[in-house]
């Protein structure tokens, strides 16, 4: 009995210790595998990322594309466009466009074809964060938000309410973490701000505060541009600090069209 106590019992204890160690190893391995599955994928392994190449869907044949092109050229040279601002007229006529007596700008066929030949085929739209740079060209596709909704859905009450600046800010934060959203075009209107100028400023502020991805917005009135440009220049100025990459943070602005 003594031999059992002194011999076998320690052996049994050793087996228990080894069994416990193996169980701990298995638990540790399982935890590591779970952590790996829950961790974000590396950028090169993500199935959805900015700039995936498109062009597979081709509803128009090459002949149809050529037909559209040949139709557009006379429209540009004979009809042209109206209501160009003085600065635009100066730039366009300096490049070879023609200003008619009727005030319309027209683009000769030769000018259009020359510009097509020298136009850049690709460029980098630098963001405030290098992770959000957009490589434009070569059939690359980028997805973003759009529209200008005036209501949001409350999932708890299943009812509609007018969209607010807080809703817009929340949407921007959501877009910041979605791999399939590459730029943030203001998707809703701040209905809780009645003054058009204050709404424009707070719309831009909510977008820029919620995401470092590219932001697009619009002006409710041309006179509101100056105040909002101050905010844009402030953001661009920070991007131009020592060590900053790219010329600036690109913030596309879509102005309201009168016609």
Q: What is this structure's pTM?
A: 0.67
Tens digits of residue pLDDT in 119-173? 988 888 888 888 888 888 888 899 999 889 999 998 888 899 999 999 999 999 9
Alpha carbons 133 and 213: distance in angstroms, whole number: 8
* pLDDT score of 49: 75
Q: Which pair of tokens denotes residue 129?
A: 């964060």
pLDDT number for residue 57: 85
pLDDT tens, 5-51? Answer: 444 444 455 555 555 555 555 556 788 888 877 787 777 777 777 87
Q: What is the mean pLDDT of the chain?
A: 82
Burial class (CB in 10 A: 0-12, 13-18, 19+), 217: buried
DSSP tag of 132: G
pLDDT surpasses 50 at 254: no
**Average pLDDT score over residue span 167-194:** 94
């Amino acid at each position: 009995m003594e031999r059992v106590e002194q011999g076998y019992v320690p052996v049994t204890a050793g087996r228990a210790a080894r069994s416990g160690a193996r169980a701990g190893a298995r638990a540790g391995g399982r935890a590591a595998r779970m952590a790996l599955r829950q961790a974000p994928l590396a950028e090169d392994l993500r199935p959805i990322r900015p700039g995936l190449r498109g062009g597979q869907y081709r509803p128009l044949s090459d002949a149809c594309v050529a037909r559209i092109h040949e139709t557009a050229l006379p429209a540009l040279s004979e009809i042209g466009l109206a209501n160009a601002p003085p600065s635009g007229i100066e730039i366009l006529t300096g490049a070879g466009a023609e200003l008619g007596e009727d005030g319309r700008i027209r683009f000769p066929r030769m000018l259009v074809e020359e510009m097509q030949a020298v136009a850049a085929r690709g460029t980098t739209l630098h963001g405030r964060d290098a992770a959000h740079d957009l490589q434009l060209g070569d059939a690359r596709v980028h997805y973003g938000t759009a529209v200008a909704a005036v209501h949001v859905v409350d999932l708890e009450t299943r009812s509609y309410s007018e969209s607010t600046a807080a809703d817009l800010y929340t949407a921007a934060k959501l877009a910041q973490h979605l791999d399939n959203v590459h730029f943030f075009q203001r998707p809703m209107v701040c209905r809780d701000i009645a003054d058009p100028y204050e709404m424009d400023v707070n719309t831009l502020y909510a977008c820029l505060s919620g995401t470092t991805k590219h932001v697009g917005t619009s002006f409710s009135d041309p006179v509101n541009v100056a105040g909002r440009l101050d905010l844009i220049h402030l953001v661009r100025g920070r991007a131009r600090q020592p060590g900053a990459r790219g010329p600036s943070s690109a913030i596309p602005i879509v102005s309201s069209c009168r016609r």
